[in-house]
Structure 1
Amino acid sequence: MSTSVTQQTVGEALVTGLKARGVTHVFGIPGVHTIELYRGLARSGIRHITPRHEQGVGFMADGYARASGKPGVAFVITGPGLTNAVTAMAQARADSVPILVVSGVNAGPSLGKGWGHLHELPDQGGLMAQVALTSQHVATPEELNEALDRAFAPFTAGRAGPTHIEVPLDVMGQTAVDLAEVAQGAAPPVLPDLCAALTKLEDAKQVVILAGGGAKHATALRDLAERLDAPVVQTVNGRGVMFDHPLSVPASPSLTAVRDLIRQADCVLALGTELGPTDYDMYEIGRYPAMPGLIRVDICLKQLSRRSASISIETDSAAFVAAALERLADRKAANGAARAETARQAAWEEIGPDYRRQVEVLNAIRDALPKARIVGDSTQPVYAGNLYYEPDRLDGWFNSATGYGALGYAIPAAIGVALADPDSPVICLTGDGGAQFSLTEMMVAQEEGLPVLFVIWNNAGYREIATAMESAEVEVVGCTPTPPDFALTAQAFGMRYAKVADVADQVTTALTALAQGQGPAILEVTAPVWRSKG
């Protein structure tokens, strides 16, 4: 598609280039260093959303990307705007979420001089090199097209993550060159030789499949699991691919019960999972599950090189699954459903009564609001769900409690999800501590009229941290920040409000009632408050 436009500034041309690449929403907080980026935004048709903090800008872009399948785009100012967004970029990198952060940077002649200009950093590009997959500096108008192409390239080839473009203040207002034709998307992946892997799968008697976030869009995974009669263990970001299937094991591979299932296999097929410790060694015992005859399939060569395997295959998981189905015959019964059921039952017992109670709340929410997306922060029921919970849809369960592990994620990310998918119920699940990181972002949901249900799990503190400190025989300090009065908070934000105990039927009754109304609402769930054992 040609988008030749004349007499635009570089800032205007950048917006035109974003629109040509399918961008419909931009999350940003304008400032004196991005005014020229906004010159063409109002007439572009791109919808601008104004969060209350640049970390919220990044987290909203993250949630939007996960729900829409398109990159989330953020506009931030030079210096503090960008550094505020770094946390969100790091979370997106850990979870392979495609977001593009566009920022200003001080005028070219001043860079690296330390003259003390407003928002000056010693080396902004160097900072971005540590967190972005690619960071493009647009030194002249002629470099804009290539910068856009390079920024969007990782979104269609290889492992996605955050990218960055910076435009100097003395370049934004210059006259742009004509926009070039938008680069085409990546070609379909070329499959490497799969003979050794498929032979190994054919010869195996008891296969177990590990499905990570890179496998969640392998739509034929259920068929492959049935063909191999293989239980499918799902990491946090892989949940939902096997909902309500007898071969599904929606439980953490850090649990002993799931480790036993994996250890007893004679061939483990790992699809789109980095085998990271927050999924496979969350208790930090320093030992991964034994993975006999491991076959790794991942789109990222660097990931493959980080963990050894019997066979490593660099390709897209969906392409591998489709090819395997063409060449693998149905096997004789391998007791897959029975092995999966044994693992599920043992894992359910292993997580203990407190976590089982919290998972029961999650299950009740799922059943009361079908196809809801639950967006979580680091809070007790999220930890419980990461150990054992099965959403009824893809991308119906994700949170910041694994990977980078940033607090304050859930509220803005849920807003991004609601903007991308307004027809699905969206539930933000955050603790009273995490909520205070980004509470003001709720006003974005109010002013946009988004029906996000903000569930605040209030145990009056950082209970998970307090428990960990006690286990380490460290005197608990700093874990009881006083929460605000959430009823008054809801009143100040103009939102509907309800309060219940942490009992499944009370939570679902209240949520169901709140879901019938218009706009966002807050449900406060009062949970047991941490008390020192001393």
Structure 2
Amino acid sequence: MSETATGGAAVIDSLVAHGVTDVFGIPGTHNLELYRYLPASGIRHVVTRHEQGAGYAADGYARVSGRPGVLITTSGPGITNAVTALATAYADSVPVLAVSPGPPRGRVGADVGWLHEVKNQQAALDAVTGRSIRAESADDIPDIVADIFEGFASRRPRPVHLEVPVDVLEGAWARMPCARRPLPTASRPDRAAVDAVVAALVSATRPLIVAGGGSRAAAAELRALAGLGIPVLTTVNGKGVLDEAHPAALGAGARLTAAHDAVNEADVLIVVGSELGDSDLWGGTVAPGRPGERTVVRIDVDPGQAHKNVRADHAIVADARLALRDLVDGLRDKGIPGWDLARATTLRGQIDAEAAQSGAAWEPIQRSLAAALPADSVVAGDSSQVTYYGTVHTWPFTPANRLLYPTGYATLGYGLPAAIGAKVAAPDRSVVALFGDGAAMFSIQELITATEQGLAIPVVIVDNGGYAEIREQMVDRGIQPQAVDLYRPDIPALARAIGAHGVAATSVDELGPLAAQALSADRPTVIYYHV
């Protein structure tokens, strides 16, 4: 039995059918029909103070929950405000669905001064997401949403934009049940490709694994392969996928010369779920030996990754869990006893020594927080020195942890709203935000969101005087520093004015206890520390 509704019901009913329980967004003139159906849907709506914050929160939600994050904006400035967040999700392969209204049918590109009009809104979003889809009929929406969620489950996860013309969103729809499609089974690896990799490993003396973000769902299988004595280096997005206390773990070595040397000296290099891009390597080059003297293996669900940046000798296009499981089984069938972990110990010592030297200013901060917070804490960082020099290299993670960091797009303002999304996704987990003063001012307004939601998030802001990294780069290039030494507001007072708690730490040793205390507060606590 159908009932008359509007296109807004088609969107909300489809989200409910696919298990969406939380969305982030801001209501506006053109998306109000979505809000007509939200209260009865059971979906929690978290209103942010900027659409970019909604996008970052949806990103953090997805990374922690393993489910797609969803944001809702209005047309024009609403959705374009979220573009940077969606570009961040694209760069780091995060499943985010952005829903926005669009111009009425027949009005795209009309240039008639329609409210919020963009020359081509769908094309603008298609340029920064995996794809942008325009629903020309409310009847099409359930199938479009089902296709989007099917893609999230079966392909490389990247953000998708769903544009619904205002006249479709507000027009009549004969409300019918929205079906959820069975999710596709994981893609299995080609048997011949697995056998070829096993054969290469049998004769290897210096194998090494680089585990990227695409390996996170395969933590158990990666541990089994590492248990044979193969050292594992992770990218930033893969940090913690193997317990960093494991004897084969080399940590996250994005920018370290010792880590690059270890990769380049491998005779069999297995890359799992990483494009080996500049954001993973920080300008380094992966050039493992010469062809014929080394074997490069790429394991990725995306066939487009097989030869990106470093050409594969063997490409396994499949689910990482199944591919790694088959490799372990193949090696055991061959009776391979494993490799001597002494090599991993030596490599780890070299990498740790370099990390300790370059991150010396930031290591005490990480140590203080790690010692005081639960072992499975989620850490939301930013494109701040305290994150990429500190957390990445000197906060030991396990698979239970999660580092939220905008690796590929390297944006500022990510950490706080990402922490909000993480806490909404996992309210019983410890979530801490840790970033610099420069990053904080890009999204400080989202403290109001966290306060309004009553989220007990320690927000540790480390003040090093502005845009310190850019200042150092100017000095290195012989440029007179300018526009990088920022005015210092009273950040704890600002936090209290917003309604959050605000305190200042007078020593690094106070950071951990203050953060631990903040976990039981009734709202976020800003902990300010001046380096």
| Short-chain TM bin | over 0.9
Deviations 1:357-406 (A, max 9, x none): 41342133223212111100111211213345431334521212x20111
Kept in 2: contact 1:497–1:523 (CA 8 A): yes
Deviations 1:152-201 (A, max 9, x none): 23210111010011111111122224345222212221321321112112
Shift of 1:44: 0.7
Could you tell me which residue of structure 2 aligns to residue 390 of structure 1?
Answer: 396
Q: How does 1:143-182 map to 2 (within 5 A)?
A: 143-177=140-174, 178-182=176-180
Shift of 1:253: 4.4
**Counterpart check, 1:258 vs 2:259:** yes
**Counterpart check, 1:413 vs 2:418:** yes
Q: 1:377 to 1:5 in 2, by over 3 A?
A: farther
Kept in 1: contact 2:13–2:178 (CA 8 A): no
* Residue among 116, 121, 124 paired with 1:119: 116
Shift of 1:105: 0.7
**Counterpart check, 1:33 vs 2:30:** yes
Could you tell me which residue of structure 2 aligns to residue 422 of structure 1?
Answer: 427
Any stretches of 5+ residues in structure 2 without a counterpart?
A: none
Kept in 2: contact 1:11–1:37 (CA 8 A): yes
Shift of 1:204: 1.4
Could you tell me which residue of structure 2 aligns to residue 513 of structure 1?
Answer: 517
CA distance in 2, matches of 1:473, 1:348: 31
Between 80-89 and 170-179, report the one with greater CA deviation.
Answer: 170-179
Kept in 2: contact 1:259–1:290 (CA 8 A): no
Q: 1:174 to 1:274 in 2, by over 3 A?
A: same
CA distance in 1, matches of 2:147, 2:488: 44
CA distance in 1, matches of 2:437, 2:365: 17
CA distance in 1, matches of 2:457, 2:49: 17
Q: 1:492 to 1:324 in 2, by over 3 A?
A: same
Kept in 1: contact 2:17–2:178 (CA 8 A): no
CA distance in 1, matches of 2:460, 2:526: 6
Q: How does 1:319-338 map to 2 (within 5 A)?
A: 319-329=322-332, 331-336=336-341, 338=342
Shift of 1:495: 2.2
Could you tell me which residue of structure 2 aligns to residue 76 of structure 1?
Answer: 73
* Residue among 291, 295, 309 paired with 1:293: 295
Could you tell me which residue of structure 2 aligns to residue 381 of structure 1?
Answer: 386
Amino acid at match of 2:331: L
Q: How does 1:91-240 map to 2 (within 5 A)?
A: 91-177=88-174, 178-193=176-191, 194-218=194-218, 219-227=220-228, 229-240=229-240
Number of residue pairs the alignment of both structures matches: 517
Shift of 1:439: 0.3
Shift of 1:431: 1.0
CA distance in 1, matches of 2:337, 2:180: 50
**Counterpart check, 1:314 vs 2:317:** yes
Deviations 1:340-369 (A, max 9, x none): 222222223223546134134213322321
Deviations 1:21-59 (A, max 9, x none): 000011110000101111111111101000000000100
Shift of 1:423: 0.9
Q: Secondary structure at the match of 1:122?
A: coil
Q: 1:476 to 1:32 in 2, by over 3 A?
A: same
Deviations 1:77-109 (A, max 9, x none): 111111100100000011111110000012112
CA distance in 2, matches of 1:476, 1:421: 42
Amino acid at match of 2:232: V
Could you tell me which residue of structure 1 aligns to residue 495 of structure 2?
Answer: 490
What is the TM-score when the length of structure 2 is the normalising length?
0.94
Could you tell me which residue of structure 1 aligns to residue 368 of structure 2?
Answer: 364
* Residue among 308, 331, 345 paired with 1:341: 345
Q: Secondary structure at the match of 1:250?
A: strand
Could you tell me which residue of structure 2 aligns to residue 433 of structure 1?
Answer: 438
CA distance in 1, matches of 2:4, 2:488: 53
Q: How does 1:48-67 map to 2 (within 5 A)?
A: 48-67=45-64
Q: Secondary structure at the match of 1:160?
A: coil
Kept in 1: contact 2:18–2:146 (CA 8 A): no
CA distance in 1, matches of 2:297, 2:411: 31
Between 514-523 and 429-438, report the one with greater CA deviation.
Answer: 514-523
CA distance in 2, matches of 1:387, 1:502: 22
Q: Secondary structure at the match of 2:82?
A: helix
CA distance in 2, matches of 1:191, 1:351: 36
CA distance in 2, matches of 1:207, 1:448: 48
Amino acid at match of 1:325: V
CA distance in 2, matches of 1:353, 1:270: 27
Amino acid at match of 1:411: L
Kept in 1: contact 2:215–2:273 (CA 8 A): yes
Shift of 1:111: 1.6
Kept in 2: contact 1:239–1:394 (CA 8 A): no
Q: 1:332 to 1:312 in 2, by over 3 A?
A: same
Identity among equivalent pairs (%) = 34
**Counterpart check, 1:465 vs 2:463:** no
What is the TM-score when the length of structure 1 is the normalising length?
0.93
Q: 1:495 to 1:65 in 2, by over 3 A?
A: same
Shift of 1:67: 1.0
Kept in 1: contact 2:495–2:501 (CA 8 A): yes
Q: How does 1:79-90 map to 2 (within 5 A)?
A: 79-90=76-87
Amino acid at match of 1:204: A
Q: Secondary structure at the match of 2:505?
A: strand
Amino acid at match of 1:359: E
Q: 1:501 to 1:201 in 2, by over 3 A?
A: farther
Between 493-502 and 130-139, report the one with greater CA deviation.
Answer: 493-502
Kept in 2: contact 1:252–1:388 (CA 8 A): no
Deviations 1:263-294 (A, max 9, x none): 332211111111111122x1x35x33526311
